[in-house]
Structure 1
């Protein structure tokens, strides 16, 4: 009997180990025309209004995964469907390698399969032995270190001149923030969240980890993160955006570290976009996993390799302002930022102490392709938070997990100014407002002219950023706002939509500022960019001493 039990145990263990995670990428979306002609079937009215305001067109990326494709795979007995992403048109599955590879022959709608274990992919990055990452999972949350009286939150807000925004009436009103995290226990009962509950500022949420509506559960990390933005105890504590509204999403399964969490995050970001969210805070990051074969290497931190970072870039192209903690690996052998903080369009936030000195645990940049990360810093060493059990103010936790939401709240307050500017002027809509905002914040930072690997651009000054952002808005030339390109994202060619085509000049730059293309005296409105690798590029269009900058996503 003992031998039989041992055999069964070994068999079950082998089967568990042999199960692999993979993404099945689909070829198309057959019903895209129907959805694009009926946009409210895939996006809320607020989401559509945000797209209009930011001059972002709907396209195939917004269309849901085809339900027939999904159901066929869902009913497949040889694999298990775990999650999906409409942005990447991919379904996250688990199964034996042979069964997963057999799907390609069985289903004509599958374009390709990408295994989380890169060694199983026909083409992919080849890592040298020194680059391989050993499993190093631990509960990453256990060591995560108008006129308001800010109380205990005074330093972390005034360090960034966030009080100046509040004095201008910019407190996050009319902004919706999504928190994607590990759980929000006691947010529904604690006194510190009574204000946002009674003012109906919690709009809803979802538990992607357990596939249910209960988001007031799981790990307390999200509760502490939310308190940095929305907590309020009169004369004792104020978050950075006390008048914002919130969606609370759980994507992290704190007791394990699996590649599935990346896909769940993308699902949550897609939900945030569809609901019309303005700003997303993520105090999560991914580098190594329980299954060492799924772990990333530093080479993967290029903003376009990991599944989550690819999703983040698409989210930014939809108009979301994404703020992410840089990570707490500064003292570890890994050292560098994680994903999706490596994504070009994500605002990545490192940590300083109360005196503005860098926290040793704050993760380093640059990205593996040489970009500055993190961009900015906030107080993450012993900031003031609300304890999820007692509801009292605590300063016992540290981490970029908290400098990120402190920053997120102020980003939302600054973005609120954009709404005021458009309402109180003749302007109608302006593409790249998010880019204007981010550049205003970065340029206000104390080390902007001398960035460093751990500091990035340094500590921003939101008084300076507000003035810079307002100046940027005032310089927008409405007569040149009609210039668009489509499709964007682009596969091979795009068309420039402009009435007068005479004397137009184009320049195309990489995210590192390298000029890749320059065109003058164009004879066609169609431009071929098939030679470009997948990624984010900056297209500059010049005409009559005017300039239009458009972010181009090559897929």
Structure 2
């Protein structure tokens, strides 16, 4: 009996005093209207302009967290506040199970979610902590090369030839550190032309982003690097913010909170594109880790933040991951998010890289979305030498720079339209696979598709979007049309849906299986047909 009591006491002690990570969510933002009435206290003018251009309204999620709530949580016994998210109205905290659990009694606390999933249902003995390295591994050689293959594979050089090099667009890079970026030759052009706008180290809580780690240096060089005759990034004239959200010393879910906090700052600053070569799946503490069943598009904390970032008018691009030849080959967080453009890796000859993580997501969506060169990609190391390295860490920024340059070419487009055009230009768009997704985009083709969509509007045609789609489709009407009948057909020609709609009305297709469908829109004498892909 004494032995049993002793064991019970030991378990209780572990649960009471072991440090746990959790998110505490609040009920409301009592002062939100004050901020909504004065939006420049929350967002820059550029951020407001980006939303206005895409008809995106301000919401309560844009208002900051109630400071009195933050103060009370900070002052609570045994609690450390590690990060915060205004979009999700929560704080990332650390403390003992008992101290965290006691916060539920505060009247403004809605609920608490532990990173250790088992603690959300019942108290269990913590599992042994085994160090995990979840950063996208890279394999570097020191042979010189040039970036012709990785740029021309996407026809991004044709964007550059038309003077679409990312000028006027802003990219936020979320990574582990940008060692020596401010001193080495491949980034001289970025600094000399005033393209570096600032940065922040969320892990260290300071503005030092140039002396922590080399991974971000390499990824940034794929977009912003410039050494004539050796390396030209895919967006050499874009402007950049650099944010450190990855703690290389340990693997803990607080990094997801740092990630979301950085995305919120990117939104505030008016950023157009977020690119991140980080992935979250396994943590040092296995109780915090995800499983494939969690990859449903909006469950993980960082995936939720990424989807909200998209809803604010930004494009979020993420590495698919490097686990394709492991026992857990599928994409991770936030690449698996519903509205993230996940980028896998191919070789110089456009064949699949064996390490590139595969799809689909657990709920059956196409992932990765697109592919770019990630095996033996050309980039800069922290000494300024032009080298090659492998990983989706590099296919991601190569793609992100190309997308940014493309968006410069079609400034009238929304983020959803840009993503749609990129996918539609890809070489496997009509027959996506688990390895390639929709395939390798052709940005010259994407320009042509975008031009046709403009012509459609000018010629009085309907524009059906998004395409491909996960959840719904809608159609924007030309002037003079109030209603139309939208019909959907399967590949056997059988009508499976028919409904009268108004312009931009969302029509759910959640019940449809993945694949290609045919649509017909009819209004008065105008009849239009086309294809739509359901993820």
Same fold, judged at TM 0.5 (above): yes
For residue 270 of structure 2, the aligned residue among 261, 267, 276 is 276
Is residue 174 from structure 1 mapped to residue 168 from structure 2 by the alignment?
yes
Is residue 65 from structure 1 mapped to residue 65 from structure 2 by the alignment?
yes
CA root-mean-square deviation: 3.4
CA shift for structure 1 position 198? 0.6
Counterpart in the other structure of 2:447:
466
**8 A Cα contact 1:480 1:546, kept in partner:** no
CA shift for structure 1 position 363? 0.2
**8 A Cα contact 2:199 2:242, kept in partner:** yes
Is residue 265 from structure 1 mapped to residue 259 from structure 2 by the alignment?
yes
Counterpart in the other structure of 1:47:
47
For residue 346 of structure 1, the aligned residue among 340, 344, 347 is 340
CA change 1:521–1:308 in 2 (3 A) is closer
Counterpart in the other structure of 1:484:
none
**TM-score, normalising length: structure 1:** 0.79
Rounded to whole Å, the distance in 2 between the matches of 1:168 and 1:133 is 56
Rounded to whole Å, the distance in 2 between the matches of 1:365 and 1:57 is 33
CA change 1:292–1:377 in 2 (3 A) is same
- Is the deviation greater in 15-24 or in 270-279? 15-24
For residue 436 of structure 1, the aligned residue among 417, 428, 444 is 417
Rounded to whole Å, the distance in 1 between the matches of 2:416 and 2:192 is 34
CA change 1:120–1:84 in 2 (3 A) is same
Is residue 140 from structure 1 mapped to residue 121 from structure 2 by the alignment?
no
Rounded to whole Å, the distance in 2 between the matches of 1:516 and 1:316 is 30
Counterpart in the other structure of 2:116:
117
CA shift for structure 1 position 46? 0.4
Question: Superposition pairs for residues 148-227 of structure 1, below 5 Å?
Answer: 152-227=146-221
Is residue 455 from structure 1 mapped to residue 436 from structure 2 by the alignment?
yes
**8 A Cα contact 1:135 1:288, kept in partner:** no
Question: Superposition pairs for residues 288-303 of structure 1, below 5 Å?
Answer: 288-303=282-297
Tell me the alpha carbon deviations over residues 58-112 of structure 1, each in whole angstroms, 9 at most, x when there is no partner.
111111111111111111123111111000011111112222122111x111111
For residue 402 of structure 1, the aligned residue among 390, 394, 403 is 394
**Unaligned 5+ residue runs, structure 2?**
1-9, 463-478, 489-494, 512-519, 529-535
Rounded to whole Å, the distance in 2 between the matches of 1:379 and 1:269 is 26
Counterpart in the other structure of 1:98:
98
Rounded to whole Å, the distance in 2 between the matches of 1:194 and 1:243 is 12
**8 A Cα contact 2:313 2:415, kept in partner:** yes
CA shift for structure 1 position 234? 1.7
Question: Superposition pairs for residues 362-441 of structure 1, below 5 Å?
Answer: 362-388=356-382, 390-395=383-388, 397-419=389-411, 422=412, 433-441=414-422
Q: SS where residue 384 of structure 1 aligns? A: strand
**8 A Cα contact 2:136 2:278, kept in partner:** no
**Unaligned 5+ residue runs, structure 1?**
1-9, 124-131, 423-429, 482-498, 509-514, 533-539, 548-555
Tell me the alpha carbon deviations over residues 513-546 of structure 1, each in whole angstroms, 9 at most, x when there is no partner.
xx99987599xx999x9x99xxxxxxx9998769
Rounded to whole Å, the distance in 2 between the matches of 1:114 and 1:43 is 29
Is residue 25 from structure 1 mapped to residue 25 from structure 2 by the alignment?
yes
CA shift for structure 1 position 17? 7.2
**TM-score, normalising length: structure 2:** 0.82
Question: Superposition pairs for residues 480-491 of structure 1, below 5 Å?
Answer: none
Rounded to whole Å, the distance in 2 between the matches of 1:456 and 1:521 is 31
